[in-house]
Amino acid sequence: MKGKKIILGISGGIAAYKSAALARELVRRGADVRVVMTPMARQFITPLTMATLTKNPIAVDFFDPENGQWNSHVSLGLWADALVIAPATANTLAKMACGIADNLLLTTYLSARCPVFAAPSMDLDMYAHPAAQQNIATLVGRGVRMIEPESGELASGLVGKGRMAEPETIADALHDFWACRDSKLRGRTVMITAGPTYEKIDPVRFIGNYSSGKMGFAIAEELAARGAAVKLIAGPVKLRARHANIQTISVESAEMMYNACVETFPMCDGAVMSAAVADFRPETAAGSKIKRVGNTLSLNLVPTRDIASQMGRMKRDDQFLVGFALETDNEQANAQHKLESKNLDFVVLNSLNDAGAGFMTDTNKITIINRNGETTEYSLKSKAEVAADIADQIELLS
Ligand code: CTP
């Protein structure tokens, strides 16, 4: 969203208080945000709040009464890469559908040539009313992208569908729109492994690792945002995928992950192996809880199957395969070895020696090594940004 010019249109509904959080989120993601408010919206949130958050003046009236300056809805409409109306009240949606032009937000809408998004917000019965639904259908038919309201407690105290989508959801919808538009991943199917695996010792204990799954889930969200259908094979994690394009297949052990991958990979255009798969598992899992007897306990461990290597053997010419290498020493040489031995197209190296990289953090610092021997080093970034860098490299493969 970096550098995108967004008009945030606010109409007069109680959800206008959430527009402040939305403006902040859009600015945080690098957008240049200009706010247009209806006169009624001013009753719910002040122009000063919005101006402070966006660092831009706010337009409410056709003229500035102080100096007579003209707020040109036409130039605003031409300036923007997107117009987002949030909240979009029943009244504003109805006026948009009819082409009524009695405030600056509506004239801006009518003269905008950019994509338009609307996040409806109203009471459940208003939202369900055939008039409101027909207006929404008319606008959708004209290309307005509706960001569905959520169900929950409404300002009236009633419970139902009509609550404006959360600011993060609205910002994600915009992100997805731009990410998907030019992506080669649109319509492709990608398998991703994520998280740790648990190898059973007895009914109450396992061998696991500190992987949170955050990196794999971030890659899944990014590829889904670019229009790919994602099959996310996840070990035990506390995360939930948000995007509708992601199908999560939950597994526990390396063996279960192996079986899911062998079944899923043939129907995919490629795979990203980001799971921290256990390399060893207890030879046998005890059927009942192991008791505390004696001073030592020996577990006989046997190797698990290397899933990435198996995918490398199964890989067809029309498929890509990306792997990770988490290293503590001899990083480059070890990563290079994994690239070749697992038949990967590129390997994403993270070194546990870099602060902020690896398990459980929200950040990562990666180096990508490809089959042509090219090495790209990236700076420390959020896992969402790292996922975008990895997705960019995948797009170069296809
Ligand atoms: N991997 C896998 N199945 C395994 C082990 C690893 O699919 N049983 C994948 C990981 O998801 C990653 C890549 O192989 O994409 C490298 O994982 P890593 O743990 O760094 O390397 P290993 O191959 O396990 O080698 P080592 O532990 O000796 O460094």
Q: Sign of torsion, CA 56 58 63 64?
A: negative
How far is 372 from 350, CA to CA, in rounded Å? 19
Active-site residue identified among 209, 259, 334, 370:
209
CA 325–ligand 1 middle distance (angstroms): 7
> Which tokens sit at 320?
């890509």
Confidence class for position 142, pLDDT limits 50, 70, 90: confident
pLDDT for res 35: 95
CB of 326 shorter than 6 A to ligand 1: yes
Using alpha carbons, list the distances in angstroms from residue 295 to 130, 202, 274, 289, 298: 74, 18, 38, 17, 10
Our mutation pick for probing the ligand 1 site, out of 191, 277, 336, 351, counting the most ligand atoms within 8 A of Cβ, is: 277
Per DSSP, the three-state class of 337 is helix
CA angle 209, 348, 1 (to 5 degrees): 105
How far is 184 from 198, CA to CA, in rounded Å? 35
Atom of ligand 1 nearest to the CA of 348: 15
Residue with the nearest Cα to atom 8 of ligand 1? 306
Average pLDDT over residues 378-394: 91
DSSP string for 58-106: -B-SSB-TTT--B--HHHHHHH-SEEEEEEE-HHHHHHHHHT---SHHH
CB of 311 shorter than 6 A to ligand 1: no
CB-based contacts of 136-144 (< 8 A; 24+ apart in sequence): 136/93, 138/97, 139/93, 139/96, 139/97, 143/115, 143/116, 144/96, 144/116, 144/117, 144/118
Q: Is 209 a catalytic residue?
A: yes
Q: How many CA atoms lie within 13 A of 251 on its CB side?
A: 26
What's the Rg (C-alpha) of the chain? 26
Confidence class for position 32, pLDDT limits 50, 70, 90: very high
- Would the CATH topology of 5-178 be identical to that of 183-397? yes
Residue type, 155: A
Counted residue by residue, the chain has a size of 398
> What whole-number percentage of the chain has pLDDT above 70?
97
Using alpha carbons, list the distances in angstroms from residue 181 to 16, 174, 186, 310: 29, 11, 8, 33
Are residues 254 and 275 in contact, defined by beta-carbon separation less than 8 angstroms?
A: no
DSSP string for 209-237: ----SHHHHHHHHHHHHTT-EEEEEE-S-
CB of 366 shorter than 6 A to ligand 1: no
Are residues 120 and 146 in contact, defined by beta-carbon separation less than 8 angstroms?
A: yes
Atom of ligand 1 nearest to the CA of 344: 15
Residue with the nearest Cα to atom 16 of ligand 1? 325
CA 276–ligand 1 middle distance (angstroms): 7
Q: Please determine, for residue 27, whether its predicted confidence score (pLDDT) is greater than 70.
A: yes
pLDDT for res 67: 67
CB of 308 shorter than 6 A to ligand 1: yes
Given 3.40.50.80, 3.40.50.1950, 3.60.21.10, 3.30.429.10, which CATH number is that of 5-178? 3.40.50.1950
pLDDT for res 82: 96
Average pLDDT over residues 65-75: 70
Residue with the nearest Cα to atom 21 of ligand 1? 325
Task: List the chain domain ranges.
Answer: 5-178, 183-397
pLDDT for res 297: 93
CA angle 247, 172, 8 (to 5 degrees): 155
**Better pLDDT: 246 or 143:** 246
- Note if the bond before 87 is cis, omega within 30 degrees: yes
Q: How many CA atoms lie within 13 A of 242 on its CB side?
A: 13
pLDDT for res 68: 65
Residue with the nearest Cα to atom 14 of ligand 1? 308
Lowest mean pLDDT among 22-36, 54-68, 248-262, 289-303: 54-68
Lowest mean pLDDT among 4-18, 69-83, 251-265, 309-323: 69-83
Confidence class for position 306, pLDDT limits 50, 70, 90: very high
pLDDT for res 390: 96
Return the CATH number of the domain spanning residue range 183-397.
Answer: 3.40.50.10300
> What whole-number percentage of the chain has pLDDT above 90?
77
> Which tokens sit at 241?
């995928």
CB of 354 shorter than 6 A to ligand 1: no
Q: Please determine, for residue 66, whether its predicted confidence score (pLDDT) is greater than 70.
A: no
Average pLDDT over residues 115-139: 94
Q: Please determine, for residue 199, whether its predicted confidence score (pLDDT) is greater than 80.
A: yes
pLDDT for res 158: 85
Q: Please determine, for residue 385, whether its predicted confidence score (pLDDT) is greater than 90.
A: no
CB of 211 shorter than 6 A to ligand 1: no
Lowest mean pLDDT among 56-60, 123-127, 185-189, 301-305: 56-60
Sole residue written with tokens 């889930």: 217
How far is 229 from 154, CA to CA, in rounded Å? 33
Q: Please determine, for residue 127, whether its predicted confidence score (pLDDT) is greater than 90.
A: yes
pLDDT for res 261: 98
Going by C-alpha positions, the residue among 64, 32, 129, 117 that lies closest to residue 90 is 129
Atom of ligand 1 nearest to the CA of 261: 7
Give the single-character DSSP code of 243.
S
Atom of ligand 1 nearest to the CA of 310: 7
**Per the confidence metrics, is the pTM higher than 0.85?**
no
How far is 193 from 216, CA to CA, in rounded Å? 7
Q: Please determine, for residue 274, whether its predicted confidence score (pLDDT) is greater than 90.
A: yes
Atom of ligand 1 nearest to the CA of 305: 8
